[in-house]
Amino acid sequence: MVKSGTWVSIRSTILEAGNRAANIPEDTANVPLDMWVKGYLVQDCDLGGLATVHTVTGRVETGVLEEVQPTTVVNYGDFVPEVLQIGVTVRKILFGGGCNG
C-alpha cells in the first residue's frame, strides 16, 4: 500500500489505438496514446491500482499507479568517440595541454 502524499508516477490512456489520427504512421496508429504524470498521491493506493495525483502545477490527474518515488533518467544516447575527442582538442587549443588523447 502506497501512502497518500507520496511522490508517484501514473499512466493513463488518452486515445485508444483505433481512435488515433488517420495521418500518423501505421506503427504509431497501432498503439494507444498514453500519458505519464508525476505527482503527489491523493489517497492510499496499491501499485497497479487506479490512483489520483496532485501535480506540482496544480492539476489533478487519474491513472494507473506505476511507480513510487520515480526518478528522472536522462540519456544522451550512445557513446561517440569523436565527441570525446572534441573536448580534448578544445582543451589543447585553449590551454595548450589537456588529457592524453
100 vs 41: which has the higher pLDDT: 41
65 neighbors 51 (Cβ within 8 angstroms): yes
Percent share of the chain, pLDDT over 70:
95
The arithmetic mean of pLDDT across residues 35-57, rounded, is: 97
43 vs 79: which has the higher pLDDT: 43
Number of domains comprising the chain: 1
Residue 62 domain-assigned (yes or no): yes
Residue 101 domain-assigned (yes or no): no
Single-letter amino acid, residue 80: V
Residue 48 domain-assigned (yes or no): yes
72 band by pLDDT with thresholds 50, 70 and 90: confident
53 band by pLDDT with thresholds 50, 70 and 90: very high
